Amino acid sequence: MPPRRSHQKSHTGCITCKRRHVKCDETGPPCNRCETRGAACEYASLEGRRGGGGDRDVPIPDPKTTTTPPTDATTSPSFPTIHRHLDLQLMHRWATSTYHSCCTPGAGDQKLWQLTVPALALQHDFLLNGVLALAALESASVLKKDDDPQQSPHYDKYINAAMEYQALALADFRTKLASPPLEDPIAAICFSLMLMVLAFASVQFRRPSSGGSPEEEEESIVKSAIAHFDLVRGAVQVAESGGHEITQNEYVQNLTPFEDLPLVALDPSIADILTTLGELNDTRIVTTAQEGPERRFQEIALWEACKKALNLLQQCFHRCVGLVYRGYALGWLNLTGDGYIQALKLNDRTSLLILMVWGVLVEKLGHDVWWAHEFGSSLVDELAKNDLCTAVDDPSARDLIRRIQELI
């Protein structure tokens, strides 16, 4: 057997190549081998690679090429006994797991949420508290997977912490919106997007209410959703009034335009429900024909707002059913316009029924992401019990509510 050919061993190559027992060209990070394989490239120490003494126990990753291994989402977290440790734990969870909750497929925004947002959070309390609130809710969601989450001593603590962080974030953000211009529009826009996720995530952790008090009424899903989306719209408007066009953002430009999303056939049951809703909306034009000018004008405005919202919702059912594109359905409420939001605030029955159908679409998304779990079904259930929806003389409208519930 011929002797092995002698070669010079590398003592300063990257850790990845050493583990694979291959020669490292030491050009990194990343070295050529790791760059070709798309692997994380780490060196024992920067000084060690240059031939110095250095501390070889501290790896020096390159943030441009190194991907952080995700936290195991199935591992139940433990609530720290020291409050400062809680902040550190939640920020770590954000950077290794929770940030995925805000990423949009195809937008290439992973670095934005994993690296840029935590850096911006050091400068803006509303963003920092938003990050911590969402990470705390995700921690609670892991514990909620157990058969009886209330038995976990940590579950309630994460929920309470999340609510405190969220309250601080909202209070600070409202103050910033009331005093434009925004110091950092990018931080405000990121927080606005985070608000949508928080609005969905908060629903599954609501405390059961005994019903009846005005305070409990304010905690309704509809009112909470409107409040959150009002803040989102407000942030976008303030940012754009300061010359920061949202559509020019590099991540927004990477998104596939809504009108370019692939079309799929509409489910027959959904098509029938949308048709019935359209007919119900049209009846307001006929039934108010003899009303005074002021009432007539209001009903026409509501009819137009609901018609626009209904057309957009139909497009969402056509285009937002695939796993990659379901996230677009979350933006439906923002696209409907001020008229529809005002109709919801007025408790217009047709607008509430349209919102109920949107809950059916969101429920499909809830099966894929933790933060949308239970939102759609909870929204449909709440609206089905709404007095304005149940006190309907028209049998076709009562049948409509029943058919919507059957889709959940």
- For 148-166, the pLDDT digits (tens) are 555 577 888 999 999 999 9
Length of the chain: 408
The pLDDT assigned to 219 comes to 63
Average pLDDT over residues 292-314: 93
> What's this model's pTM, rounded to 2 decimal places?
0.72
Question: Does residue 343 contact residue 298 with C-beta atoms inside 8 Å?
Answer: no
In the Cβ-directed half-sphere of 173, how many Cα atoms lie within 13 Å? 32
**Percent over 70 (pLDDT), the chain:** 74
pLDDT of residue 403: 92
pLDDT (0 to 100) of residue 218: 43
Phi, psi of 308 (to 5 degrees): -65, -45
* Burial state string for 141-179 with b = 16 or more CB within 10 A and e = fewer than 16: bbbbeeeebeebebbbbbbebbbebbebbbebbeebbee
- Residue linked to tokens 């909870």: 378
Rounded Cα distance between 358 and 383, Å, is 11
* pLDDT value at residue 399: 84
Residue 191 has pLDDT above 50, yes or no: yes
pLDDT of residue 281: 93
* pLDDT for position 195: 86
Dist. CA 143–CA 76, nearest whole Å = 6
- The 10s digit of each residue's pLDDT in 224-268 is 888 877 777 776 666 666 555 556 666 667 777 888 888 889 999
DSSP 276: H
User: How many Cβ atoms sit within 10 Å of the Cβ of residue 271?
Assistant: 13
pLDDT digits (tens, 9 = 90+) for 9-20: 555 678 777 777
Instruction: Give, for 274, the enclosing helix (H) or strand (E).
Output: helix 268-287
Task: Please check whether residue 191 is in contact with residue 113, taking contact to mean a CB–CB distance below 8 angstroms.
Answer: no
User: Could you give the CA distance from residue 390 to residue 40 in angstroms, rounded to a whole number?
Assistant: 58
- What is the Cα Rg of the chain in Å? 26
